[in-house]
Structure 1
Amino acid sequence: MSALIGIETLIITAIILLLYASWRLQQKQKYYRNVTSKLPTIGGIPFIGQVYHVIDVENLFHKVSAGFDTMKTLTGCVWLATTPYILTVDPEVIKHVTTSPELLNKARDLYTHFDDGAISGIIVSPAKKWKTNRKAISPFLAHNNITGLFPYFNENAKNLMNKLTRLAGQGEQDIFTSIKECGLQLSLFTIMGIKVEEGSEKHKVILQAFNGFLDHMAKTIVLSSLGLGFLSRTPHYKRTLKYLRELVRSLIKENLAQNVESEAINNFEENKHSLINLALKALRKEVFTETDVEIESFTMIAASYETSVGAAYTCLVMLAMHPEIQERVFQEIRSVFPDEITSVEYDDLKKLPYLDMFISEALRLVPPITYIGRQTVNDTHELCPGVILPKNTQIIIPIYELHRRKEIWGPDANRFNPENFSPENIEKRHPYSYMLFSKGPRNCIGFRYAEITLRIILIHAVRNLKFSTTSKYEDIVLIPKVTMTYKNEPQVSIEARAN
């Protein structure tokens, strides 16, 4: 009898919860009716919406593209679980979203994987805190400071080129690992002012920890879309996070305590702004707390490492897959550097327009950041004529899809063609058709750092090495994680060039 009463109680409780959930969903639908009645909307299954498409990450890009085709619009609304999201690939709407002073806050759900107390710095900070923190660290990325880092950028590029040279003549090899090793070393030095000897046990442990941490963040993205983000907080994840936070703390202490004897490092420390020096300066002025110093340092290390190594790998793979384009890039580089490269200087970068076109096209098709998002802060924001967005509406810009829409890039939008970035073709397109590092005041603060380090890496590598692969561009399967990743990373063959 008691068992029967227990079952009845469970059933009644389930019914009450279902009715309550239905009422909440109905209220939310009513709240967003002004949006969903005026924008093409894809609803899906009650309480689930279109969330099952998010789980299938290998086909996510295809599903997003199909969704825009179904809505027959460049701006529409999609329900995921019980939340509607505005998706847009309309360059004019994107311009409004990324430049509006009312849309400086990041979309809450798109960045839940940053809510770990370690990498939640200027990437996701609320607008008021973001403005203060960005101002404090922006001198690190100022033009004069970046040009002062060229010796270290060149040293890093030469180191990578030497590592790749040792793989020459050995058939197809994993080059991504070598890129990661050098990328981490550069990030640690330019951000923290600390050199960690490559190949040392400390370097290996740090590299493994960062890669593990980013893998866990990728899992969090998928699980959070289902409301199950807590499942990614495994004991292993917590240990990795703890290690990395303690690492950053130790690097800060090491930076403060070290007795600088190297003339090169001394020049860097005294005459240039390392990010850690700027962060500690902000701490002394009480602009930053000690936690801010740790978080902003960690954020910049992780962000510079993850995006830079991915972009370098993509460019080398694309060169290997397109030998005729690689040859043209090589000939242009050789015209600027007919003999052995001693150092690439800032003015040299202005002499390589085809290299710029190639890089832009490679990262158009494989952008490191696949989605960005903003969120409204009041109930009166007008997205486009007649569409008023209520408070906390999330607007998502799928960069991968934007970069491949045929309405913008023509019928061959998916073909690899650097001529898309010839001056005349750039002139024909809306300036917000291409947004590799976002745009507007809340763009990626480190975009110049990333652009310059990438170009210097490619100049040294292509001038000295030739790349090839049996993998085909058409067979690439891309998966959105924290940054863009490959389902199967193409292996690359390397051949040393004769000077």
Structure 2
Amino acid sequence: MSALIGVDTLIMTVVILLLAASWRLNQKRKYYRNVTTKLPTIFGIPFIGIVHMMLNVNKVYQKIGKVFDNLKASTCCIWVATTPYVLTVDPEVIKHITSSPEFLNKSKDLYTHFQNGVFSGLLVSPAKKWKADRKIINPFFAHNNLLSLIPTFNDKANNVKNKLARLAGQGEQKIFAILKECGLQLSLLTIMDMKLEESSETYTEIVEAFNVFIDHMEKDLLCSWLGLGFLSRTPQYNRILKYIRDLMRSLTKKHLAQQIESEAMNNFVENKQAMIDITIKALRQGIFNENQVDIEGFTMLAASYETSVGATYTCLLMLAMHPEIQERVFQEIRSVFPDGITSVEYDDMKKLPYLDMFISEALRIAPPGPYIGRQTVDDTELYRGVILPKDAQVLIPIYELHRRKELWGPEASHFNPDNFLPENIAKRHPYSYMPFSKGSRNCIGFRYAEISIRIILIHAVRNLKFSTTFKYEDIVYVPRVTLGYKIQPPVSIEARAN
């Protein structure tokens, strides 16, 4: 009898929970009724939404493209589990979203995996905090300060070139690891003023910690979308987070002591190159606390590293897959540097218009941040007749935006630098291309990335030739912290004769 009572109690509990969940879902659907009655909407399966369509990470981007195609709309609404998301690839709507103060907050769900205690700085901070913090950090990315980093960019570009050159004549090689290590060195030096010898134990520890950290963030990204983020917070992940926090704190204390000592000796330099010097100054003025210095430092460090490395790899890969384009890029670079390269200066980069077109096309095909998300501050109009309630989340799938045939023509998925001829740019809506987002909350480091990528490519292409047997049409992009490759195609390298 007691067993039957237990079963009855369990069944009753399940029924009550289902009824409560159904009531909450129904209330949420009422809350968003103005949206779902005005926009084409996919509700999917109750409590599941379209989650089942997104389980295959190798096809996530294609599935989103099909959503727009099937609904025959450029702005729509989808339900993932019990949460609605507005998606748009309409450039005019995107302009409004990225320009309006009502959309300054980041989408809480899209950036959940960044809320880990070391990566929750400028990238995801609420609008009010973001405005104040960005003003503090802006001087690092000012034009003159970036120009002062050009010798460092050249030094690291030479390092990349030399490491790749050692692989010449050895057949197809995986080069992404080389780019990652060199990118990490550059970010540590320019952001945190930390120079490491590659043979040192500390260097090995930091490289390993970053690799593990990024791997765990990728798992966190996928789990968080399903509401299962806790599964990725393993003891190893927590150990890595502690290691990174301790590293950032030690660098903060070191640079604080150096600033105080320099002032005492009357040789304090107001505008240092490294970002940590700017945030330490804010600490001493009482604007930042130590934790903010650590978090903003790591946020900029990881963001610059991830963005630049991924974009550089894509560029080298596109060169390898398109030999006729590579030859044209090479000839242009050689015309500016006929006797080889000692150093690439800022004015040199202005003489390479086809290289600019090529890089723009690479960033169109593989934008480092394939999605961005915003969240409404209050009830606000998305466009005429469509009012989004407070805290509604809007996602802009940049990957899909850059491939829409109505914006880029029938061959939108093909690689073609001519898309960025001046006459072709003039025909398109300016918000149909946004590899580093747009508006006031765009990527603060986009000029840093653009300059560093160009200098690396100039050094590499002037001295090396790239090829691969991997076919362009066989590339599969997958969601990671930034845009990732299911398989990273290997590349063959040959040394060029001057």
TM range (shorter): over 0.9
* DSSP-derived class of the 1:47 partner: coil
Q: Contact (CA 8 Å) 1:181, 1:198: kept in 2 or not? A: no
Deviations 1:67-88 (A, max 9, x none): 0011101000000001110000
Which range moved further: 399-408 or 46-55?
Answer: 46-55
For 1:381-420, what aligned pairs fall within 5 Å after superposition? 381-420=380-419
Q: Contact (CA 8 Å) 1:357, 1:422: kept in 2 or not? A: yes
Q: Contact (CA 8 Å) 1:375, 1:392: kept in 2 or not? A: yes
For 1:163-202, what aligned pairs fall within 5 Å after superposition? 163-202=163-202
1:375 alignment counterpart: 375
For 1:102-117, what aligned pairs fall within 5 Å after superposition? 102-117=102-117
2:466 alignment counterpart: 467
For 1:36-435, what aligned pairs fall within 5 Å after superposition? 36-257=36-257, 271-379=271-379, 381-435=380-434
Q: Distance in 1 between matches of 2:127 and 2:461?
A: 41
- Match for 1:151: what amino acid? P
Identity between Structure 1 and Structure 2 (%): 70
Q: CA deviation at 1:245?
A: 1.0
Q: Contact (CA 8 Å) 1:136, 1:279: kept in 2 or not? A: yes
* DSSP-derived class of the 2:438 partner: coil
**Pair 1:107–1:316, CA change in 2 (3 A):** same
Deviations 1:277-325 (A, max 9, x none): 1101111111111110000001011001111111111100110000000
Q: CA deviation at 1:152?
A: 0.2
Q: Distance in 2 between matches of 1:257 and 1:342?
A: 36
Q: CA deviation at 1:10?
A: 0.8
Task: Give the paired residue count.
Answer: 492
Q: Contact (CA 8 Å) 1:104, 1:442: kept in 2 or not? A: yes
Q: Distance in 2 between matches of 1:160 and 1:119?
A: 27
Q: CA deviation at 1:96?
A: 0.2
Which range moved further: 248-257 or 406-415?
Answer: 248-257
- Match for 2:407: what amino acid? I
Q: Distance in 2 between matches of 1:429 and 1:59?
A: 28
Aligned residues: CA RMSD: 1.4
Q: Distance in 1 between matches of 2:327 and 2:108?
A: 45
Q: CA deviation at 1:194?
A: 1.5
- Match for 2:325: what amino acid? I
Q: Distance in 2 between matches of 1:199 and 1:417?
A: 41
Q: CA deviation at 1:56?
A: 1.2
Q: Distance in 2 between matches of 1:268 and 1:61?
A: 50
Q: Distance in 1 between matches of 2:468 and 2:142?
A: 38
* DSSP-derived class of the 2:494 partner: strand
Which stretches in structure 2 are left out of the alignment for 5+ residues? 261-266
Q: Distance in 2 between matches of 1:408 and 1:113?
A: 32
Q: Contact (CA 8 Å) 2:272, 2:278: kept in 1 or not? A: no
- Match for 1:473: what amino acid? Y
**Pair 1:156–1:270, CA change in 2 (3 A):** farther
Deviations 1:122-170 (A, max 9, x none): 0000001001111001100000000001100000000110011111111
- Match for 1:375: what amino acid? Q
Which stretches in structure 1 are left out of the alignment for 5+ residues? 261-266
Q: Distance in 1 between matches of 2:186 and 2:225?
A: 34
Q: Distance in 1 between matches of 2:455 and 2:199?
A: 23
2:486 alignment counterpart: 487
Deviations 1:28-80 (A, max 9, x none): 00000000000000111000000122221100111001100111010000000
| TM value normalised by structure 2 | 0.97
Deviations 1:301-358 (A, max 9, x none): 1001111111111100110000000000000000000012111011111100000100
**Pair 1:268–1:322, CA change in 2 (3 A):** farther
Runs of 4+ in structure 1 off by over 6 angstroms are 267-270
Q: Distance in 2 between matches of 1:460 and 1:269?
A: 31
**Pair 1:268–1:343, CA change in 2 (3 A):** farther
Q: Contact (CA 8 Å) 2:149, 2:273: kept in 1 or not? A: no
Q: CA deviation at 1:360?
A: 0.7
Q: Distance in 1 between matches of 2:154 and 2:80?
A: 46
2:6 alignment counterpart: 6
Q: Distance in 2 between matches of 1:349 and 1:222?
A: 39
Q: Distance in 1 between matches of 2:383 and 2:305?
A: 37
**Pair 1:428–1:240, CA change in 2 (3 A):** same
Q: Contact (CA 8 Å) 2:252, 2:290: kept in 1 or not? A: no
- Match for 2:469: what amino acid? T
Q: Distance in 2 between matches of 1:316 and 1:77?
A: 37
Q: Contact (CA 8 Å) 1:168, 1:495: kept in 2 or not? A: yes
Deviations 1:213-262 (A, max 9, x none): 111111111111111111110111111111111111122233345699xx
- Match for 1:219: what amino acid? K
1:263 alignment counterpart: none
Which range moved further: 90-99 or 270-279?
Answer: 270-279
Q: Distance in 2 between matches of 1:395 and 1:382?
A: 12
Deviations 1:261-285 (A, max 9, x none): xxxxxx9966534210110111111
| TM value normalised by structure 1 | 0.97
1:445 alignment counterpart: 444
Q: Contact (CA 8 Å) 1:88, 1:94: kept in 2 or not? A: yes
Q: Distance in 1 between matches of 2:247 and 2:193?
A: 14
